[in-house]
């Protein structure tokens, strides 16, 4: 199968592209700058129609991971990367006759601030989503799902707190601070949290299995938020 992966320079995108190649797929990656990956690269902006059209041409499936995931930034930046980028990918898939689109979203698109324990995956809601990232991803998810049709099958996945080999983002920094005793524990530390571990072997099955109902992301059972670091660290406690 010929597969395009957008955003392959990130941790999840890199693991995904590697997993697909290892199972025998012909992988193309779309990203802004070369990451030295051993795949055919198309370099450019995911919101640029010409660039995306070149990348999508001839593909059987597209895995859309490219996004602005920073917690700070101007609203216009999130709109361009997350909303316009998704719309550009969807339009290119339709024109090129791509049969399958997997859109990587976020649980935050359906989170309005209350605790979510033992509940299914609610619909994306840009009005209730909190922050530029969540609002833009909620809009993008709705746009992607609206494109689902007999000719273009659309699947949305919502991995939460992704971590694994090559992690340079949130989880890596949390572990480093905890190990150095610089991470305060607020409250009891017993609140449950769901995480998604990613590496090529773990990621390989995501894209070939039928979507469950309601859609969920494979991963371990939720665990107390302090458990990933508490066994190997000593940190200060704040109440």
Rounded mean pLDDT of 65-90? 95
| 82 belongs to a structural domain | yes
**Each residue of 138-156: pLDDT tens digit?**
999 999 999 999 999 999 9
* Set 133, 206, 207, 226: catalytic member: 133
Ramachandran category for residue 110: left, alpha or beta (phi over 0 → left; psi -120 to 50 → alpha): alpha
Cα–chain center distance at 208: 17
**What's the rounded Cα separation, in Å, for the pair 57 and 158?**
26
pLDDT at 77 over 60: yes
Q: What are phi and psi of 14, to 5 degrees?
A: -65, -45
Tell me the average pLDDT across 196-213: 55
pLDDT score at 233: 41
Region of poorest pLDDT, from 89-98, 137-146, 206-215, 229-238:
229-238
pLDDT at 128: 84
| 175 against 207, higher pLDDT | 175
State the pLDDT at residue 68.
Answer: 94
pLDDT in tens, 106-125: 888 887 666 666 666 788 88
Check whether 126 has a pLDDT greater than 50: yes
Instruction: Please confirm whether the linkage preceding 214 is cis (ω < 30° from 0).
Output: yes
pLDDT in tens, 2-22: 999 999 888 888 888 998 998
Average pLDDT, integer, range 203-226: 56
133 carries an active-site annotation: yes
pLDDT of 211 higher than 60: no
Q: φ, ψ for residue 90 (rounded to 5)?
A: -60, -45
Q: Average the pLDDT over 99-112 and give the result.
A: 87
The answer on 100 and 40 residing in a single domain is: yes
Examine the pLDDT at 239 and tell me if it is beyond 50: no
Pick 116 or 231 by higher pLDDT: 116
* Euclidean distance between the first and the last CA atom of the chain, given in angstroms as a whole number: 54
Please indicate, yes or no, whether residues 32 and 123 belong to a single structural domain of this protein.
yes
- For residue 58, give the nearest of 23, 19, 94, 97 by alpha carbon: 97
Specify if 123 maps to a domain: yes
State whether 111 and 176 are in the same domain: no
pLDDT tens digits, residue range 35-70? 888 999 999 999 999 999 999 999 999 999 999 988
Q: Is residue 214 pLDDT above 60, yes or no?
A: no
Q: What is the pLDDT of residue 158?
A: 86
Average pLDDT in the chain: 82
What is the CATH number for 65? 3.40.50.720
Work out the percent of the chain whose per-residue pLDDT is above 90: 44
Residue 110 has a pLDDT of 81
153 lies in the same domain as 233: no
- CA 178 to chain CA centroid, Å, is 25
**How far is Cα 156 from Cα 21, in angstroms, rounded to an integer?**
21
* 208 — pLDDT class (breaks 50, 70, 90): low
The full DSSP string for 144-194 is: HHHT--SSSEEEEE---SEE-TT--SHHHHHHHHHHTT---EETTS--EE-
CA distance 102 to 186: 37
Mean of pLDDT values over 195-213? 56
Number of separate domains in the chain: 2
Are 17 and 131 members of one domain? yes
The DSSP bridge pattern shows strands 192-193 and 223-224 to be antiparallel
Residues of the domain holding 85: 2-160+198-216
Considering the domain boundaries, does residue 221 fall inside one?
no
């Amino acid at each position: 199968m010929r597969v395009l992966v957008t955003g392959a320079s990130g941790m999840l995108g890199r693991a995904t592209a590697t997993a697909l190649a290892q199972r025998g797929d012909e992988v193309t990656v779309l990203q802004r700058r070369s990451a030295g990956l051993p795949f055919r690269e198309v370099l450019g902006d995911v919101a640029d129609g010409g660039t995306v059209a070149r990348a999508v041409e001839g593909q059987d499936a597209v895995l859309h991971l490219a996004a602005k995931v920073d917690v700070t930034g101007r609203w216009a930046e999130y709109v361009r990367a997350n909303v316009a980028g998704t719309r550009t990918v969807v339009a290119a898939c339709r024109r090129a006759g791509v049969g399958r689109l997997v859109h990587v979203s976020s649980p935050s698109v359906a989170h309005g601030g209350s605790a979510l324990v033992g509940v299914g995956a609610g619909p994306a809601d840009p009005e209730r989503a909190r922050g530029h990232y969540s609002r833009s991803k909620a809009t993008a998810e709705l746009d992607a799902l609206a494109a689902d049709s007999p000719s273009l099958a659309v699947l949305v996945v919502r991995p939460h707190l992704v971590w694994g080999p090559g992690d340079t983002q949130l989880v890596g920094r949390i572990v480093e601070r905890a190990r150095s005793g610089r991470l305060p524990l607020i409250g009891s530390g017993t609140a449950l949290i769901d995480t998604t571990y990613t590496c090529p072997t773990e990621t390989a099955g995501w894209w070939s299995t039928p979507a469950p109902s309601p859609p969920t992301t494979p991963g371990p059972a939720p665990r107390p938020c302090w458990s990933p670091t508490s066994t190997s660290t000593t940190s200060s406690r704040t109440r």
